Amino acid sequence: MRVGNMNWIQVEDWLKHDDRCVVPLGSTEQHAYLSLSVDSILSEKVAADAAAPLGVPVFPVLAYGITPYFRAYPGSVSLRVDTYLAVVRDILDGLAQSGFRRILLCNGHGGNSPAAGLAVEWVADNPACRVRFHNWWNAPKTWAQVQATDKLGSHASWMENFPWTRLGNVAMPPGGKPAADLDTLRLLPPAEVRQRLGDGNFGGLYQRPDEDMQALWDVAVAETRALIEGPWA
């Protein structure tokens, strides 16, 4: 259940019998020919699809993340690490004050990984709560499905190209790209990242058949749902 479709009275009623919720974490950044909101769209949708049969509340996605390397691409917006962690901490504090005790952070952007460490620290300060940090796209079963489909899949390639992340007026280029040298890219300032990376695809085909994407999505939703169901320590 998306919180946007609930009122406070319904949330209070939920908390009388359950204390779980999900918070999607995303980013606003370049994804080549796909939407700038890919990471936010995917994290929110996989969370909502996973939680729907369980009735667990899903909060709105945090649509800005840590992505300084893409700042030379117009439309990409990056929060500083300390800003981002402060926002996530405040969100967790607010959820705990409401009465949520089991919280899944469903992350869609690799740059947001510092929040995983914050979650551990926050639980140490809030021992009545439990927080799971879940990178939905590279969780074990989902990543195995990616590899079984096509071993070369990465940022802005086929593995993020779902019907709900495509732009209706934009055609995908044919074929794909060789894998980018990520170790080198990590050393470069934003302007040089753009110069080397070009359109933004890290490597791989731009698109695969929709049946491949649905098969991947089904695995991701099931894996995310299993984490929401628990067991929680």
Tell whether pTM > 0.85.
yes
Amino acid at 63: A
Residue-wise pLDDT for 174-198, tens only, equals 999 999 999 999 999 999 999 999 9
Looking up tokens 């110069």, which residue turns up?
195
| CA separation, residue 223 to residues 2, 151, 232 (Å) | 19, 20, 15
Alpha carbons within 13 A on the beta-carbon side of 54: 23
What pLDDT digit, counting tens, does each position of 196-225 carry? 999 999 999 999 999 999 999 999 999 999
- Predicted confidence at residue 195, as pLDDT, reads 97
87-108 per-position pLDDT tens digit: 999 999 999 999 999 999 999 9
- Does the pLDDT at position 153 exceed 90? yes
Where b means 16+ CB within 10 Å and e means fewer, 65-96 reads bbbebbbebeebebbeeeebbeebbebbeebb
Longest dimension (CA), the chain: 54
Query: Between the CA of residue 128 and those of 120, 125, 132, 197, what are the distances in Å?
Result: 13, 9, 14, 45
CATH number of 3-229: 3.40.50.10310
Tens digit of pLDDT for each residue in 15-57? 999 999 999 999 999 999 999 999 999 999 999 999 999 999 9
Show me where the domains of the chain are located. 3-229
